[in-house]
Each structure stands twice: as structure tokens, then as C-alpha cells.
Amino acid sequence: MAQASGNENVFWLATVFELLVGISAAVGARKSQEIGLEALKPSKMNRLQRSIARDRIPAVSKDSTASVSAFLTITLRVLNEYLQSHTQAGQDWKVEMKAFETLLRYWWDTYHLAISPRFEEATFQAHLAIGSDLVGRISGMQQNSVVVAFNNALKSNFDSGFKLTTGLSMEVIWKHLRPVVISKLRVMETLFHMEQLAHRFDALRWKTSISVKELGGVVASLVKAYHLVLISDVDTASLIKTLSEEMSKSEASVDKDGDRVTPYLRGDFEAFSPITQRHHKCVSRAPATPHGHCRALTIFGAKARNCNLSWTCFQRDCCKN
């Protein structure tokens, strides 16, 4: 029996050592978030840094993660003190080992969510709900000061009504799909003129000859022009004037009474084109790029299928970017 007890102590000490190493790494990670914190603006801080700076930045106290720093500090301290004072294997040391490893893993998950550059409220709320269930299941198997401390820390440092509700995940989708708000009458009038030009394209697209490559370049230029007008505060009078003049030249150069030769399956490709262009633009859009591309593609993707080569001057001068 003595030999068996000695073996259990060896395994328990090895477990304690591994947990203490993990705690040391966690303490170092937590302290690394304090480096250079004084020079950062609140808008440049992650949620953990905002929690650390809570005392000197009153506005941070409104964050749902305002006490996450206290939660991480308290739970680590309690776990460390328990391990330091329990160097002998208890009767349920294997259950304790699994419980402490699970709690430490949850600590790391909380830490990574708090330092994420793109914090999502719904994800963090779901994480807290998982933590409450997790601690509840562990309490049913093992009751000690560490489990009790984790449970109390979750309840005291986060709002008791802080639970996941239907629809919160829609916020993430809305940030990517919401249209740009037209804030000025001048911009609205310019976009209206551009839509009129798109209708004029419809009347010309099967009466002019242009290669597929050149056609794609012109369509891309029109999309960029629409997007530029939508998001930039620029003088658009000269842009509309140039577009109108080039359109008039194109209209004058075509045979209005000539036969219209359309490609096979034209209707099918016309239906697919705006969909594929809109999808490609939305997927490839960088996070910092303003929204609203999809509407431009919807308008011009289906309307600007053919045009005259005289539009190349517009591409060169107006859409370099």
C-alpha cells in the first residue's frame, strides 16, 4: 500500500509541476498586456487592456468585459495557492487533475477572447455561458476552493444577466452587408445621373464591337467610378460631364438602325453576371474598405455590357485607383 501511495504522489507532483508551469506562462501573458499601456488610446486597446486601465478611464466601466482582468488575476492566484499548499495526492487526485486542467484551459480561452483585435460580443457571451455550465458540471464531481473561486469569479465579475440572446450574431453579418448611407443631396443626384448613363449603356451594348477583355476593363472602371462617388467627397460634376460626353460620342458612332446580333445564351449570362460580380466583390473586400460595393455592381454589372472604345480615356484619367 505504501508503494502505491508513493506512486500516486509522484504522479500528483508531476501534475502540480505541469500546472504551475502553465500558470507561470499565463501570468506572463497577462503582464505582457500592460506593456506600453499608458501610451495607448482606449480605441486602440483590446478588451483586456481596457479592463486593466479601468481605474484611470471611467468610460471603460461600461464594457461587458470591464472586470475580465480581475477574473483572470483572481482565478490564477487561487489555483496557484491551492497547488502550492497541496503537495500530497488526495483520494480524488485524478479528478482534481482533470478539473484543474479544464479550468486552466478555460482561463486561456477567456484570455484569447479578451485580447482579440476583433472582439465579438455574441462569442464572448456564449463563452461565459459555456463557463457557467462547465463549472457547474465540475462542482458536481469535485468540490474544493478552486472550483468555488472560479464559480464566484464568474458571477461577481460578469453581469448575471449577461447571456446569449437571439439575433446578436446578426451584428457581424450586418457590418459586412450594410449599404453605405448617402449623406448629401449632391451625391444622390450624381448617382442618379450615373444610373441614367447605365440605361444608355443598355441601348448601345449590342450595337458596338468590343473585345471581352476590353469590356471587362470598362465594366470594372464603371464600378470603381460608382464606388468613388458613393464613398468619397469629391467634385463629381466634371466626372459626370466626361461620362456624358463620351456616351454621346458612342451613341453618335453606332448605326441605330443596324441589326442587333446577340450571343447565344445571352439571357442566362446576363442573369448570372451581376450575381457572380457581387459575390466576388463582397468576398474579396478588405475589412478596412467601406461598404456599398454590392449595390454598384448590381447596377453596372447588368447594364454595362458593351460600350465604345472612346471610354478608354475615362478609364485612364478617372479610374487609376
pLDDT digits (tens, 9 = 90+) for 95-133: 889 999 999 999 999 999 999 988 888 888 889 989 989
**Same structural domain for residues 6 and 89?**
yes
My answer on whether 160 and 238 are in the same domain is no
Together in a domain, 16 and 138: yes
Chain-centre distance for alpha carbon 316: 34
Are residues 124 and 12 part of one domain?
yes
Assess whether 200 and 312 both reside in one domain.
yes
Q: Which three cell numbers stand for residue 82?
A: 491551492
Domain coverage including residue 93:
2-168
Residue 173 included in any domain:
no
In contact, 89 and 12? CB cutoff 8 Å: yes
Joined together, the cell numbers standing for residue 22 give 502553465
Residues 115 and 216 in one domain: no
pLDDT for 320 equals 39
Point out the residues of the chain with pLDDT beneath 70: 1-5, 160-169, 205-206, 208, 210-212, 215, 254-321
Residue 178: the pLDDT is 80
Q: Using a CB cutoff of 8 Å and minimum separation of 24, what contacts does 41-48 make? A: 46/114, 46/115, 46/116, 46/117, 46/119, 47/113, 47/114, 47/115, 47/116, 47/119, 48/72, 48/111, 48/114, 48/115
Q: Which of 168, 194, 210 is the last residue of a domain?
A: 168
Please indicate, yes or no, whether residues 151 and 13 belong to a single structural domain of this protein: yes
What pLDDT score was predicted for residue 272? 67
- Same domain for 162 and 73, yes or no, is yes
Q: Tell me: do 227 and 152 sit in the same domain.
A: no
Residue 199 domain flag: yes
Contact 180/230 with Cβ under 8 angstroms? yes
Quick check: is 297 in a domain? yes
Which of 168, 188, 212 terminates a domain? The answer is 168
Last residue of a domain, one of 134, 168, 202: 168
How many CB atoms lie under 10 A from the CB of residue 63? 17
Residue 115, pLDDT score: 93
pLDDT at residue number 64: 86
Q: Is residue 300 part of a domain?
A: yes
Asked if 150 and 224 sit in the same domain, the reply is no
Over residues 2-16, the pLDDT tens digits come to: 334 678 888 889 999
Residues 309 and 190 in one domain: yes
- Please tell me whether residues 269 and 142 are part of one structural domain: no
The residues, any chain, with a CB within 8 Å of residue 108's CB and separated by 6 or more, are: 26
